[in-house]
Amino acid sequence: MFTKILIANRGEIACRVIKTARQMGILTVAVYSDADAESLHVNMADEAVYIGPSPSKESYLLGDKVIEAAIRTGAQAIHPGYGFLSENAEFCRACSDNNITFIGPPIPAIEAMGSKSAAKSIMEAADVPLVPGYHGDDQNPAIIKKAADEMGYPVLLKATAGGGGKGMRQVWSEDEFDEALAAAKRESLSSFGDDTMLVEKYLTQPRHVEIQVFCDNHGNAVYLFERDCSVQRRHQKVIEEAPAPGMTDELRSKMGESAIQSAQAIGYQGAGTVEFLLDVDGSFYFMEMNTRLQVEHPVTEMISGQDLVEWQLRVAAGEDLPLSQEQLKINGHAFEARIYAEDPNNDFLPATGTLNFLQPPIESENVRVDTGVRQGDDVSVFYDPMIAKLIVWDENRDKALQRLAKSLMEYRIKGVTTNIDFLYNLATAKPFVEADLDTGFIEKHHDLIFHKEETLLNDELPIAALYLVLAQKAQAQSKANNSKDPSSPWHQNNAWRLNEANLHRFEIEHNDVIYPVSVEEKRSGNSAYFMISINGKTLDCQGRIDGEQLFANIDGYRFNATIGENDNHYSLFRQSGVFHFSKVSPDLGQADDEANAGGLTAPMNGTMVSLLADVNEHVEKDQPLLIMEAMKMEHTIRAPSAGMVKEFYFTAGDMVDGGAELVDFVASTDEGA
């Protein structure tokens, strides 16, 4: 086994490889650019070598620099991760010229998969099923058209040199053909400098099902089952899962065997993925083979219990595959959601900025977060804006999907726009829950995923208002409970006085629009209810909060929802999706007057960290009085004016409820002091 390897990558995949290497007692060398000088992967590695300026073309894509770094540090092998140099045959050759092991397939295998039509010919010879079509050298348009006419429309034109959907064109009828071919050729020539085309029967509702294969240098080959990656957006995977829903054992072994045939047809070694289109009738067709470890490999790890990076290292070092096909078993179901810095409401424009607040869900046997960033790190313009991969596992699809939704709810990021809400809306959309998947999923269900603003305002605004009313009541009550003065009027445990017409007003902000809310508390026998007026409607509301759960009854309609709070910004999670809002102005009702006096109340549930002022000593306005920690962030509470602390109600280490009074503060009357 190697004793030291270099990882020619950055971000989460570099960190992922380092983790396994460390477990195996292998030293790691990171490489980094200017932008990554302080990044997590550099921190985690045993050594790191600077390879150039931030743009990938001047650093991570420079094979020579990477090899120089490996030579300098004595790394015996290079793990390329995915992207960058991972499928670059020339880089592979340079590794071998320098006696460095490339942790990946042999050079000819990479080259064989470089051209779509050449790959199709190899697969055809190896008896791997192909979509019916023509992929010949004779590019005479009449020949291509004849093939299309014979197989029947619709057909799909694909650029031989293409990838990721570029240079593809659907043709729905014979009379559209000539024009479509000419257009596809032009596009392909300008994108790839090559206008060789192939034509295939167009499958209108296929699924993307890919098989993970592994081959060693001793003739052994296995498949580690399949992943369904049908949910894509512009050929970018969004959520992947394993196993594929609805897969039968019979189809699985047929696809698995085909995948192994594909790999063996090109003399494959190491980790590879064979992508298939799976048609509605259960036919499957070879699409392409990826000669690298893929982004979505964790779902396979979760259901197989295997560490694919460890397998890669063992195979690259010349060992046998760790397990045989018979020893491999599927256990449960896993999903991966890719958390991106991007704006789904603005055509998924990549977002940049500083991750001011970054709180992933807590990791466990069921929840895994693969990331390369920490709170405070930047998402820069230089690289892929993926922040993390959220991977969940459970014993079946339904349970795993519930975990995914819950973990997405818990994922809190501030500072950059993310796709987390989009992922939540997608994961909870009925057709996704029902596993009604195909490659057109997001387009087909666009309105369900990007729900209409109007429905949101009708349904979600009153819920948000009720939540804020209940939360405020709870806060007033907690304050009363925590008050050290038993004679306080707040100690009646009902900050909102009985038997008074009690009108409260505040405002809710949603998507930069302010909605005034008025609330009248009423009583009927023993129970309180609220008449909430918002957005032109008055509703009879009741409810209670239990942790993050809201149990509500609005005009007789009962339901529950989950609410996440962060610094006065709230997220309301329901099966229909997520709704964000914040409370703009404090309630002007009487109960709130004291709660907000001087801001000396706990901003949220948390822990007292330290007391910074001395009791009965003069402090200046804005002088720090104490530090509280909540949601992994520290909050400094400052003197609202010059004055002195008469008493601290908590000491360091105490748990403090949100809204609780923290200090007895007396403002000084002598303003000049």
Contact residues for ligand MV4, defined by CB under 6 A: 131, 156, 165, 200-203, 206, 208, 232, 235, 277, 287-288, 439
How many of the other CB atoms lie within 10 Å of CB of 119? 23
Measured from the CB of residue 87, what is the shortest distance to ligand MV4 in angstroms?
14
In 3D, which of 427, 413, 358, 409 has the Cα closest to residue 548? Answer: 409
SS (H, E, C) 411-448: CEEECCCECHHHHHHHHCCHHHHCCCCCCCHHHHCHHH
DSSP string, 84-116: TTTT-HHHHHHHHHTT-EESS--HHHHHHTSSH
Sequence-distant (≥ 6) Cβ neighbours of residue 25 within 8 angstroms: none
For ligand MV4, which residue has the nearest CB? 439
Measured from the CB of residue 537, what is the shortest distance to ligand MV4 in angstroms?
42
Sequence-distant (≥ 6) Cβ neighbours of residue 220 within 8 angstroms: 320, 321, 324
Q: Which one, 156 or 457, has the nearer CB to ligand MV4?
A: 156
Residue identified by tokens 């969940």 is: 392
Q: Which one, 55 or 154, has the nearer CB to ligand MV4?
A: 154
In Å, how far from its chain's centre is CA 310?
Answer: 24
367 forms bridges with which residues in the sheet?
392
C-alpha 197/C-alpha 230 separation (Å) is 25
Measured from the CB of residue 81, what is the shortest distance to ligand MV4 in angstroms?
21
Measured from the CB of residue 170, what is the shortest distance to ligand MV4 in angstroms?
8
Measured from the CB of residue 116, what is the shortest distance to ligand MV4 in angstroms?
8
Q: Which one, 124 or 507, has the nearer CB to ligand MV4?
A: 124
Q: Encode 601-635: b = buried (16+ Cβ within 10 Å), e = exposed.
A: bbbbbbebbebebeeeeebeeeeebbbbebbebeb
Q: Which amino acid is at 575?
A: Q
Q: Which one, 251 or 474, has the nearer CB to ligand MV4?
A: 251
Q: Which one, 83 or 606, has the nearer CB to ligand MV4?
A: 83
Q: Which residue out of 169, 292, 368, 397 is catalytically annotated?
A: 292
Q: Which one, 116 or 583, has the nearer CB to ligand MV4?
A: 116
Measured from the CB of residue 199, what is the shortest distance to ligand MV4 in angstroms?
9
CA distances from 199 to 156, 230, 488 (A): 6, 22, 81
Measured from the CB of residue 365, what is the shortest distance to ligand MV4 in angstroms?
31
Q: Which amino acid is at 133?
A: G
Q: Which long-range contacts (CB under 8 A, 24 or more apart) does 619-628 make?
A: 619/643, 619/644, 619/645, 625/600, 625/662, 625/663, 625/665, 626/662, 626/663, 628/602, 628/603, 628/656, 628/662
Q: Which one, 192 or 649, has the nearer CB to ligand MV4?
A: 192
Question: What is the bridge-based pairing of β-strands 618-619 and 624-630?
Answer: unpaired
Residue 108 near residue 267, CB atoms below 8 Å: yes
Measured from the CB of residue 131, what is the shortest distance to ligand MV4 in angstroms?
4
Measured from the CB of residue 201, what is the shortest distance to ligand MV4 in angstroms?
6
Q: Which one, 232 or 542, has the nearer CB to ligand MV4?
A: 232
Residue 321 near residue 388, CB atoms below 8 Å: no
In 3D, which of 641, 647, 571, 243 has the Cα closest to residue 418? Answer: 571
Q: Which one, 42 or 287, has the nearer CB to ligand MV4?
A: 287
DSSP 3-state assignment of 367?
Answer: strand
Which letter does DSSP use for residue 364 in this model?
-
Which letter does DSSP use for residue 595 in this model?
H
Q: Is 10 a catalytic residue?
A: no
Indicate which residues carry an active-site annotation: 292
